[in-house]
Amino acid sequence: MEARVAVLVLLALVLVPEACRAERFVVGDAARWTWGYNYTDWVIRKGPFFQDDTLVFTYDPPNATTHAHSVYMMRNLADYQSCNLKAAKLVAGVAEGAGAGFEFVLKKRKMHYFVCGERQGLHCTAGQMKFIVKPKSSVCRD
């Protein structure tokens, strides 16, 4: 029985092409989620993104020496551009980026306006901690 299951798993791995699996991206790669990194540029280099891909936000919890970061989703482009957090939705709090980080699965094929919400929007305006992702419909990559 065990062997039969193992064969089935192996078969599934062989039959599903590598290119058709959702991927996992650490936002900012080695820079992680931090002040002053150009995430707009990161999105251009890493994209396109597909539905069911996972974005991982990793950042240290705040202490005496490190600044706090967070993840918010803006409601629309205007709020994103002006870094107006009034109607923004909290995605991950200041302590949620610790360790392996916070995972966000791109389930919907809509515009996702991600920003850091710290310092009343200063991390968004001056710190470049913002980016837009619109996942494509298929997880099959070129």
Ligand X SMILES: *[C@@H]1O[C@H](CO)[C@@H](O)[C@H](O)[C@H]1NC(C)=O
Residue ranges binding Cu ion (CB under 5 A):
69, 116, 118, 123, 129
Q: Which is nearer to Cu ion, 46 or 69 (CB)?
A: 69
CA-wise closest residue to 106 among 137, 79, 69, 72: 137
CB 86, min distance to ligand X, A: 25
CA-wise closest residue to 28 among 57, 60, 4, 48: 57
The answer to whether residues 56 and 26 touch, using CB atoms and an 8 Å cutoff, is yes
Check residue 44 for interaction with ligand X (CB under 6 A).
yes
Q: How far is CA 111 from CA 58, 134, 142, in A?
A: 21, 5, 22
Q: Which is nearer to ligand X, 32 or 119 (CB)?
A: 32
CA distance 39 to 46: 10
Residues 52-81 that bind ligand X (CB under 6 A): 60, 63-66
Q: Which of 38, 51, 84, 125 binds ligand X (CB under 6 A)?
A: 38
The three-point CA angle 31-61-59 to 5° equals 20
Q: Which is nearer to Cu ion, 129 or 133 (CB)?
A: 129
Residues 99-128 that bind ligand X (CB under 6 A): 128
Cβ-in-10-Å burial (0-12, 13-18, 19+) of 136 comes to middle
**Interface with ligand X: number of residues (CB under 6 A):** 10
CB 97, min distance to ligand X, A: 11
Residues that bind ligand X in the complex, under the rule CB under 6 A? 38, 40-41, 44, 60, 63-66, 128
